[in-house]
Amino acid sequence: MDTLPRPGLRERKKRRTRDALVRAALELFTSKGYEGTTVDEIAEAVDVSQRTFFRYFAGKEEAAFAVLEMTEAHFLDLVRERPPHESPLEALRRAVLENWDTLNETIESVIPVELHMRTFQLIESTPALLAVHLRRTAVLEEKLAHLIAEREGLDVDADPRPRVAVAVFSGVMRVTGQRWSTGDDISVESIRTLTTAYLDQVGPALAKGWNVQGKTDGDTA
């Protein structure tokens, strides 16, 4: 209540309805499965009509990504705040980690962190949602590429390096998310650790002779 004047009753009501819809949707999705949940059920749980649901969300999927969207926006802010002396990949890496560290503050007004983590897992394991997730990620990547290009004073379309760097970073993050979601530790610390571990492997993975160089930790092969 210091940046915005005062929301007004109408706005507050809208926000409450929307948050309730998101909560109900995620709760249902994570318990009965995404396809096993109908829009009517979500609407009924919040006591609004199906039509109203579609006034808040363009589709059933959109409700599933509402919270993720908040964290992505926050991530972009964090990248913007990284000091200019850091290399692109370094800045991205620190921003991601910071994003995990501040996750709770970002989303607590809508849902508890635990439900969000289960949602993340659901997305990775539901083909229809995974597809949308990947497309959304592609959009995010484009924004990131522009940010990085700006940081380095380059033209995104003239110099391929911003997009390539982001593609590399993003590709590794995907592998991380996938591995995390199929493991048994669903905690935030778990994905934080995985993130650093995989990012550290980019250099070695691009080296020519894998077997000769060996990895850092014990490896019997």
Interaction site with a second copy (CB under 8 A): 87-89, 127, 130-132, 134-135, 137-138, 152-155, 158-165, 167-168, 170-172, 174-175, 178, 197-198, 201-206, 208-211, 215, 219, 221
Nearer to DNA, 16 or 215 (CB): 16
Residue type, 56: Y
DSSP 58: S
For residue 106, the partner it binds in DNA, a second copy, none, with Cβ less than 5 to 8 A by kind, is: none
Out of DNA, a second copy, none, what residue 184 binds, judged by CB under 5 to 8 A for its kind, is none
Q: Cα angle vertex 100, ends 79, 161, to 5°?
A: 35
Asked whether the beta carbons of 26 and 115 are under 8 A apart, the reply is yes
CA distance 152 to 84: 8
Residues in touch with DNA (CB under 7 A): 8-11, 13-14, 17, 37-40, 47-52, 54-56, 58-61
Q: What would you report as the CA-atom Rg of the chain, rounded to the nearest whole angstrom?
A: 20
Binding-site partner at residue 8 among DNA, a second copy, none, CB < 5 to 8 Å by type: DNA
Question: Residue holding tokens 């391929």?
Answer: 160
Of the candidates 83, 106, 86, the residue with the CA atom closest to the CA atom of residue 188:
106
- Cα 31 from Cα 25, distance rounded (Å): 10
Closer of 51 and 85 to DNA (Cβ): 51
The CB-of-44 to DNA minimum distance in angstroms stands at 10
Q: State the binding partner of 73 from DNA, a second copy, none, CB within 5 to 8 A by kind.
A: none
